[in-house]
A and B are shown apart, each in its own frame.
Chain A
């Protein structure tokens, strides 16, 4: 089949930079870091001590790991189950006609474009107990005691971080939903209305199914951001540093923490691998749901 051969040859040429880059800069480091997880090794002296699966075994009895795992799953669930619908709601709202719609849509990109540590700092200034206007507003309204702390409260700190990442992510989801909604032909909606369908009905029967692919993409994106993206790390390190106690430790942060400040590179890499597995499972599950509904 000469045509297939020619296409294969062309494909090889076109794919070469991509493939070489992948092999050198992604596959190789991944394998190398897997090798790290099989050892106890410190950056400060780089002398590996072979452990086999010792790190993985230790992981299962590590209480801090278990706590971080639960907190990560809670964070991930909130980020997706609240963030994505919230983004959808914003998108539906901004899909309506009103003056300044273009400006409003453009604003949706600001939280995503803002550098993560800057975003963390800005949200801290907004929400902190000492001089944050939000707490003060509640205080003079009599709804909260003086200098009520969110990030210093073990029960609320994780929720506080979740809200920060909600601010950072939901507008992005909204933007992506909006782009998807652009494709929805208005005639379909109009004719449905003419036939007497309610807004809720239109949403359930027409809009939502149409947005399924976009919904899936947003959910996957949410998972990745919450597990190993900037939401998982920069925000934690910028605001709470894992505290109070260990209440805002999440897996990605724990991995970095073990690898660097605690000087256990092997163990840290192990945790990072576990994060990978969770991310892959999350994505595969979502893809499965999406494919099946089709």
Chain B
């Protein structure tokens, strides 16, 4: 990209705008970090933080890190998120490849169908899903939770993957077929390596969605499976809302997803660029 020389005043305006936007985007999170190191009495007493000096304490984090169920919930959420991501990537890739590159009856219908299905609100299906999982003896299990989260993800991820696969030039596939390689083999040998950027998008999106889910985590998980977001909701019990501790728990629970998104942001952009969004 050719570098355009800019006058000083325009550069100042640019940086000011950038800082304002960054302030808007980051301020709640930064304030949350500060809050998590505050004492509750100081948080609630006026004037609030930037207008008075506060003493920073580690108590909130100690509290939370020493509470075993929190760590267990963290690990459970991690496991569910990883499993969900794998399932969605595998099932979605296979289906998307078929829709993108193979010709069969009902292909166009299925393409549209995938999009529409994504619209369906999870709430409407919540109770039947709970009953269904119970009938399959999957209620309150990690696998059951994985299926529940996949409901939120599979249609959209498949849609993204269709777009990604369509970008793989058909000639490569033609060449492979003339060699006698089956379509399925060609999927693994050529298509996936060519579209690896798209996978990062799917990975991050699936992980974040699964990690952040509250509704299914709350109803599908009862005794054996306790996930992280309901744990944070615990802070809003009837008898208390301790913002400082909730902030600490919130920051801790958002670290993995924020880190993942930031570390992989280049790959995500590449994935979108390569045509996941069409």
The residue from A4, A107, A113, A171 contacting B260, defined by CB atoms under 8 A apart: A113
Smallest CB separation, A1 vs chain B (Å): 10
9 cross-chain pairs, A with B, having the tightest CB-CB distances, nearest first: A18-B95, A272-B124, A118-B250, A179-B272, A32-B128, A29-B125, A29-B128, A228-B121, A109-B261
The binding surface of chain A is classed by DSSP as helix
Residues of A within 8 A of B116 (CB): 280, 283
Chain B residues near A230 (CB-CB < 8 A): 212, 214
Which residue of A has the minimal Cβ distance to B184?
A: A10
Q: Which of B17, B150, B251 contacts A93 (CB 8 A)?
A: B17
The residue that B232 contacts in the complex, of A7, A18, A118, with Cβ under 8 A, is A118
Contacting B at CB under 8 A, from A226-241, are 227-228, 230, 233-234, 238
Interface: B109 (CB within 8 A): no
B94 interface neighbour in A14, A36, A125, Cβ under 8 Å? A14
**Contact B123 A256, beta carbon cutoff 8 Å:** yes
Cross-chain contact A21 with B250 (CB below 8 angstroms): no
In the complex with contacts A112-B261, A115-B229, A131-B45, A21-B119 CB distance below 8 A: no
**Contact call B48/A131, Cβ cutoff below 8 A:** yes
7 A–B contact pairs at CB < 8 A? A4-B103, A12-B104, A14-B95, A94-B21, A109-B261, A130-B44, A167-B28
Task: Name the residue in B46, B125, B211 with the highest tally of chain A Cβ atoms < 10 Å from its Cβ.
Answer: B125
A234 to B214, CA, bound (A): 8
* Cβ-defined contact, B105 with A8, below 8 A: yes
| Interface residue? B222 (CB, 8 A) | no
B223 within 8 A of A: no
Task: Decide if A183 touches B27 in the complex (CB within 8 Å).
Answer: no
CA distance A24 to B246 in the complex (A): 37
B239: Cβ under 8 A from any A Cβ? no
Selected contact of B246 from candidates A121, A227, A268, A273, CB within 8 Å: A121
Interface residues of A (CB under 8 A from B): 4, 6-8, 10-15, 17-19, 21-22, 24-26, 28-30, 32-33, 36, 43, 90, 93-94, 96-98, 104-119, 121-123, 125-126, 130-133, 136-137, 140, 167, 171, 175-176, 178-180, 182-183, 186, 190, 213-214, 217, 224, 227-228, 230, 233-234, 238, 252, 255-256, 259, 265, 268-269, 272-273, 275-276, 279-280, 283
Check if A30 sits within 8 Å of B95, measured CB to CB: no
| B-side contacts of A140, CB under 8 Å | 51
Q: Determine the interface band of chain B, counting residues with CB < 8 A from chain A.
A: 35 or more
- The answer to whether A115 and B253 have CB atoms under 8 Å apart is yes
Q: What is the CA–CA distance of A238 and B48 in the complex, to the nearest angstrom?
A: 21
Instruction: Give the chain B neighbours of A252 by CB distance below 8 A.
Output: 121, 123
Q: How far is the CA of A116 from the CA of B209 in the complex (A)?
A: 10
Report Cα–Cα, A94/B265, bound state, in Å. Answer: 14
In the complex, besides A25-B147, A122-B31, 6 extra interface pairs with C-beta distance below 8 angstroms are A30-B125, A106-B265, A115-B253, A116-B214, A137-B51, A272-B123
Looking across the interface, which residue of chain A has its beta carbon closest to that of B115?
Answer: A283
Whether the pair A131, B212 counts as a contact (CB closer than 8 A) is no
CB distance from B93 to the nearest CB of A (A): 9
- Cβ A29 vs Cβ B132 within 8 A: yes
C-alpha spacing A133/B38, complex, angstroms: 14
For A6, the chain B residues whose CB sits under 8 A away are 183
Q: Which of A171, A233, A265 contacts B25 (CB 8 A)?
A: A171
Nearest Cβ on chain A to B125's Cβ, whole angstroms: 4
Q: Give Cα A118–Cα B230 distance, bound, in whole angstroms.
A: 11
Asked if B94 and A276 sit within 8 Å, CB to CB, the answer is no
What distance in Å separates the Cβ of A99 from its nearest Cβ neighbour in chain B?
9
Q: Let me know if A17 and B95 touch, CB within 8 A.
A: yes
B102 and A176 within 8 A (CB): no
Tell me the complex Cα distance, A176–B95, Å. 24
Q: Please determine whether A109 and B265 come into contact, CB atoms closer than 8 angstroms.
A: yes
The residues of B that contact A234 with a CB separation of less than 8 Å are: 214
Residue on A nearest B208 in the bound complex, by CB: A113
| B89-138 interface (Cβ within 8 A of A) | 90-92, 94-95, 97-99, 102-105, 107, 110, 115-125, 127-129, 131-132
User: Are A43 and B127 closer than 8 Å at their CB atoms?
Assistant: yes
Chain A residues closer than 8 Å to B25, beta-carbon distance: 107-108, 110-111, 167, 171
Contacts of A29 in B (CB 8 A): 125, 128-129, 132
Complex interface: chain B residues within 8 A of A94 (CB): 18, 21
Q: B117, B254, B278 — which one has the most chain A CB atoms within 10 A of its CB?
A: B254
CB distance from B28 to the nearest CB of A (A): 4
Instruction: Return B168 CB to nearest CB of chain A, in Å.
Output: 15
Q: A10-B102, A25-B150, A36-B127 are contacts. A224–B261 as well, Cβ < 8 Å?
A: no
CB contacts (< 8 Å) of B117 on chain A: these are 22, 26
- Interface pair B31/A133, CB less than 8 Å apart: yes
Q: B49 an interface residue at 8 Å Cβ cutoff?
A: yes
- Among A26, A171, A180, contact of B272 (Cβ-Cβ < 8 Å): A180
Q: Is the CB of B229 within 8 A of A125?
A: no
Residues on A with C-beta less than 8 A from B265 are 105-106, 109
Chain A residue numbers with a CB within 8 Å of B243 are 121, 125
B273 touches which of A30, A97, A133, A179 (Cβ 8 Å): A179
